[in-house]
């Protein structure tokens, strides 16, 4: 889900003033590196910013000036590119429309095939980059979720980073630098995208997605800085009775210690059959346990405020160590699910762990 508030342009990206300022400065100065690494949690606008940069580099409404002598002699660290006088793409020209629709031959998006980016994908990319761009002023390769590259794919990519093709920049997006090969990290200029503030998320949900104030406040906290997750959650609320589902989930979790094995497996099965809202369901459960911890120290900061008395009663029955362990179990299950492990088995193991007193 895009974090654009409109269709295109840097200024429409939510809550990322500093990284956008860095990108627009690189554009205006004509000092775009051959390789950029966008770092940040999922759903904060990394891919959107990469696409906006690709549009700005190739927008027909942006008229480049001639190369200055300084630009001609610039170190190979930077992509030779005419200095431009404005940085917002028009969104209307042939180039912008092609990029926005995903049909531009020189704007290449590479993303995981299943859980990984495999060496075959990188080899195909190398073959493409051996040829000149078809029509772009500047070819842009966006490697989304670069942390999914397996070691052989990462090593193959080094060839491009060490010997970058003309008129080409690579943009890698990843959660954190530690997930990538150090040799890849060292060959890219890093731009960090911060989690979107709760205030910005609340405004987004209220103004653009029809949320009421209570929904916006709760979702802004649960989204954990991710605009795409916040939008996904409010869309679920808009098309389903999410409030009732939240209560159902909490009821099921609270009853687990006293429930039968069959009931526990039935709960895991129901979760697995609602895969499209599974992540949000697990977030609801995680924040329930989080509230039970917070209630012991700062009861005014709980998220499910409409369940205040229920949270107080449940919190008194459980110790902090057990609660934190359950939160860690949920986060571990979420990682396994993202890695495409056996969904039903992962949920069954999780439910059994959550049932422990």
74 — pLDDT class (breaks 50, 70, 90): very low
Taking the CA atoms of 203, 205, 211 and 217 in sequence, report the sign of the dihedral they define: negative
222 — pLDDT class (breaks 50, 70, 90): confident
Choose the weakest-confidence range: 95-99, 246-250, 276-280: 276-280
More confident site: 123 or 235: 123
Q: Among candidates 194, 272, 201, 200, which has minimal Cα distance to 234?
A: 201
Q: What pLDDT is attached to residue 83?
A: 46
Q: Is the pLDDT of residue 197 over 80?
A: yes
Q: What pLDDT is attached to residue 330?
A: 96
- Which strand (E) or helix (H) includes residue 166? none
Q: What pLDDT is attached to residue 115?
A: 83
- Which strand (E) or helix (H) includes residue 171? strand 168-174
Q: Is the pTM of this model over 0.85?
A: no
In this structure, whether the domain defined by 240-354 belongs to CATH 1.10.287 is answered with: no
244 — pLDDT class (breaks 50, 70, 90): confident
Q: How far is CA 214 from CA 32, 205, 210, 220, 285, in A?
A: 43, 11, 12, 10, 19
What mean pLDDT is predicted for residues 35-62? 92
Q: What pLDDT is attached to residue 241?
A: 66
Where does 10-192 sit in CATH, by number?
A: 3.40.50.300
Q: Is the pLDDT of residue 85 over 80?
A: no
What are the structural domain ranges in the chain? 10-192, 240-354
């Amino acid at each position: 889900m895009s974090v654009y508030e409109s269709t295109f342009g840097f200024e429409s990206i939510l809550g990322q003033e500093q990284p956008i300022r860095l990108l627009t400065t690189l554009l205006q100065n004509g000092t775009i590196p051959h390789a950029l690494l966008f770092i940040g949690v999922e759903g904060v606008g990394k891919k959107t910013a990469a696409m906006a940069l690709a549009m700005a580099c190739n927008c027909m409404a942006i008229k480049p000036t001639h190369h200055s002598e300084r630009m001609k002699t610039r170190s190979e660290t930077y992509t030779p590119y005419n200095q431009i006088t404005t940085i917002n793409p028009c969104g209307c020209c042939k180039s912008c429309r092609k990029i926005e629709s995903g049909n531009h031959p020189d704007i290449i998006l590479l993303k995981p095939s299943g859980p990984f980016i495999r060496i075959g994908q990188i080899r195909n990319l190398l073959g493409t980059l051996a040829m000149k761009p078809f029509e772009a002023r500047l070819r842009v390769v966006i490697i989304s979720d670069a942390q999914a590259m397996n070691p052989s794919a990462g090593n193959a990519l080094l060839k491009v980073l060490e010997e970058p093709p003309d008129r080409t920049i690579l943009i890698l997006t990843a959660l954190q630098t530690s997930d990538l090969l150090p040799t890849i990290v060292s060959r890219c200029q890093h731009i960090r995208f911060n989690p979107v503030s709760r205030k910005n998320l609340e405004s987004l949900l209220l103004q653009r997605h029809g949320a009421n104030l209570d929904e916006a406040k709760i979702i802004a906290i649960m989204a954990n800085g991710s605009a795409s997750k916040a939008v996904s959650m409010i869309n679920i609320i808009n098309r389903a009775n999410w409030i009732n589902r939240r209560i159902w989930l909490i009821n099921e979790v609270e009853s687990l210690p006293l429930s039968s094995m069959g009931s526990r497996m039935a709960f895991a099965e129901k979760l697995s059959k609602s895969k499209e809202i599974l992540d949000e369901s697990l977030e609801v459960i995680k924040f329930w346990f989080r509230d039970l911890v917070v209630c012991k120290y700062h009861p005014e900061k709980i998220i499910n405020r409409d369940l205040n008395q229920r949270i107080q009663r449940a919190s008194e029955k459980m110790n902090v160590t057990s609660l934190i362990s359950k939160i860690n179990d949920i986060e571990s299950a979420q990682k396994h699910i993202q890695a495409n492990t056996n969904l039903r088995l992962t949920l069954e193991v999780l439910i059994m762990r959550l049932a422990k007193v």
